[in-house]
Amino acid sequence: MAANIIDGKAFAATVREKVAGHVARLKEEHDITPGLAVVLVGEDPASQVYVRSKGKQTVEAGMNSFEHKLDADTSEADLLAVVDQLNKDPAVHGILVQLPLPGHLNEDLIINSIAPEKDVDGFHISNVGLLGTGQKSMVPCTPLGCLMMLRDYHGSLSGMDAVVIGRSNIVGKPMAQLLLGDSCTVTIAHSRTKDLPDVVRRADIVVAAVGRPEMVPGDWIKEGATVIDVGINRIERDGKNVLVGDVDFASCAERAGAITPVPGGVGPMTIACLLANTVTACCRANGLAEPEGLTA
C-alpha cells in the first residue's frame, strides 16, 4: 500500500487562515489585538530559526509579536522578572519561553511562573492538571497539531489502538492524554519499553516523538496504520544537511495508510496551534466566546 501523505504544511495554512479571521473580528468588533510574547535565552541556532518563523507568522495573522532576547548567562531572577512583567502586561495574551533553557536555569520554576491563562505552550502544572482531568486548559501545541490532523483524517478516533513513542512532558505525555480523551486505547513507549517493535505493530496510530533519526522502520508498522512523525533531526547525508523525522519515511510509507512527512508535517502545525492558542487565550482573557475548531 502506498500511504496517503498528510500535508501538515497545507493544513497549517488553513488553521492560520482561521486564526487570521478571528483576529480580524476581534479587532473590528472589540478593538482588541491578540499579542504573543516569545522569550529566547541564549543563541541556539535552531531556536533562533523557530522563533523568527513564529514571529513572522504571528504578524501575518494580524497579531502583535513581542520578542525578548536575553543573554545565555541571564540569571534566574532576571528571567523571572521578564516573565512577571509579561504576566502583568494587558497587551500580552500568550507567553512562550523557548526550551531548552541554558543549564543554570530551572525550567520547571520558570515555566510555572508564567500565568497559566497566558501559558500558550500548555506546560504550566495547572494546565497539565486540567488536561489530565479533562477540564478546559491550554493544550500543548505539538500534540494539539497532531490531534487535529488525526481527527481530520479519521473523523472519530474512538476505540483505536494508539502508541506514543516518547514520554516527554512537552510531547509524549500530553499527546497520550489527548488520544485518551478521544477514547483511543493508549500505550506510551519509552527507552525502557520491552520489545518496542511488537508494541508498535499492534497500533492503528503511531506517534513517534523520540529524537532519534529514522528510528522506526517500516516493518514495525501494521498494514494501513496512521503514522505521525514528530521528530525533527538534522543529519548529514551525502555531504548535505537534511531534516529527517523519527521514522524511516520511505519504508513506513509502504505499509502505512497515512503518514506525515518531515519537513512539512507536524512542525508547521505546531506553530499554527501556537497562534490558535494565543487567540483562544485572548478571547478567554476578555470574556469572549472562544473560536470553534481551534482547541481540543
Ligand X SMILES: NC(=O)C1=CN([C@@H]2O[C@H](COP(=O)(O)OP(=O)(O)OC[C@H]3O[C@@H](n4cnc5c(N)ncnc54)[C@H](OP(=O)(O)O)[C@@H]3O)[C@@H](O)[C@H]2O)C=CC1
Ligand Y SMILES: Nc1nc(=O)c2c([nH]1)NC[C@@H]1CN(c3ccc(C(=O)N[C@@H](CCC(=O)O)C(=O)O)cc3)C=[N+]21
Q: Residues with catalytic annotation?
A: 54, 98, 121
In contact, 147 and 276? CB cutoff 8 Å: no
Partner in contact with 49, chosen from ligand Y, ligand X, none, beta carbon below 5 to 8 Å by kind: ligand Y
Partner in contact with 264, chosen from ligand Y, ligand X, none, beta carbon below 5 to 8 Å by kind: ligand Y
Q: Which span sits near ligand Y by CB under 6 A: 27-35, 83-91, 209-217, 258-266?
A: 258-266
Partner in contact with 171, chosen from ligand Y, ligand X, none, beta carbon below 5 to 8 Å by kind: ligand X
In contact, 296 and 181? CB cutoff 8 Å: yes
Q: Which span sits near ligand Y by CB under 6 A: 27-35, 96-104, 125-133, 190-198?
A: 96-104
Does 225 bind ligand Y (CB under 6 A)? Our answer is: no
* β-pairing verdict for 258-259 and 226-229: parallel
Does 70 bind ligand Y (CB under 6 A)? Our answer is: no
Q: Any bridge partners for residue 35, and if so which?
A: 64
Distance CA 265, CA 272 (A): 12
Partner in contact with 189, chosen from ligand Y, ligand X, none, beta carbon below 5 to 8 Å by kind: ligand X
Which residues, in sequence order, are CB contacts of 273 under 8 Å at separation 6+? 15, 139, 141, 142, 144, 145, 148
Q: Measured from the CB of residue 28, what is the shortest distance to ligand X in angstroms?
A: 32
Q: Which span sits near ligand Y by CB under 6 A: 80-88, 155-163, 182-190, 263-271?
A: 263-271
Rounded alpha-carbon distances, angstroms, from residue 135 to 139, 142, 291, 296? 11, 19, 17, 11
* 167 is an annotated ligand-binding site residue: yes
Q: Measured from the CB of residue 72, what is the shortest distance to ligand Y in angstroms?
A: 16
State the number of CA atoms in the 13 A half-sphere of 128 facing the CB.
Answer: 13
Contact pattern for ligand Y over residues 107 through 146, marking x by CB under 6 A: --------------x-------------------xx----
Q: Measured from the CB of residue 13, what is the shortest distance to ligand X in angstroms?
A: 16
Q: Which residue in 130, 96, 99 sits closest to 115, CA to CA?
A: 96
In contact, 107 and 125? CB cutoff 8 Å: no
Q: Measured from the CB of residue 96, what is the shortest distance to ligand Y in angstroms?
A: 5
Does 214 bind ligand Y (CB under 6 A)? Our answer is: no
Q: Which CB atom, from 86 or from 196, has the smaller least distance to ligand X?
A: 196
Q: Which span sits near ligand Y by CB under 6 A: 148-156, 159-167, 208-216, 260-268?
A: 260-268
SS3 of residue 9 by DSSP: helix
User: Which residues lie near ligand X (CB under 6 A)?
Assistant: 142, 165-168, 170-172, 189-193, 196, 209-212, 230-233, 246, 266-267, 270
Distance CA 279, CA 61 (A): 10
99-121: burial string, b at 16+ Cβ within 10 Å, e else: eebeeebeeeebbbbbbbbbbbb
- If you search the block for the grid coordinates 519499553, which residue do you land on? 193
Binding residues for NADP(+): 166-168, 232
Q: Applying CB under 6 A, which residues contact ligand Y? A: 49-50, 96-99, 121, 141-142, 232, 243, 262-264, 267-268, 270-271
